Amino acid sequence: MRLTLVEGDIATQDVDAVVNAANRAMRGGLGVDGAIHAAGGPEVLADCVRRFPDGLATGSAGWTTAGRMPARWVIHVVGPNHAAGERDRGLLTSCYSGALAVADELGARSVAFPLVSAGVYAWPRDDAIRAAIDTLRATATDVDEVRLVAFGSTAYDEIATALQV
């Protein structure tokens, strides 16, 4: 597996699957979740409602169509909400390993990831970066390219530095 870094919008990535940092309700939200639902259109929400009528548990992963995005699938993960007191790092790392397991089930060869829980859910960014890199590197997968998508130059620089360590 090749781990790459790009700066940009996760919803525009030309990959087999994009990972969505979703909330437990699976009905759209803020940050990455809002961008994915906006770019994918109503098909993403309709598939979420159909496939996840009761939502998805924190730390879990599941997939839907990507609707109007270039990707074929969205792999939704529910990261822990650090701001609300969810501090179990294992829930955060399970989002990455779980998303790769779903990607393998789908036969996806390229997957784009955001930094899960590092935005609205306020997980400390340095630890979110380390959790992402360490888990992605340590997880066995058939995926050829895992792309970390940094939203903004500050995030890009921080991830690039961590990748060199």
Query: 33, 126, 134, 157: which is the annotated catalytic residue?
Result: 33
**Could you tell me which residues are beta bridge partners of residue 19?**
75
Reduced DSSP (H G I as helix, E B as strand, rest coil) percent helix, strand, coil of the chain, to 5: 40, 20, 40
Q: Catalytic site residue 14?
A: no
Residue 55, Cβ density class (10 Å: 0-12 exposed, 13-18 middle, ≥19 buried): middle
Q: Tokens representing 59? A: 């730390």
Residues with a catalytic annotation lie at 33
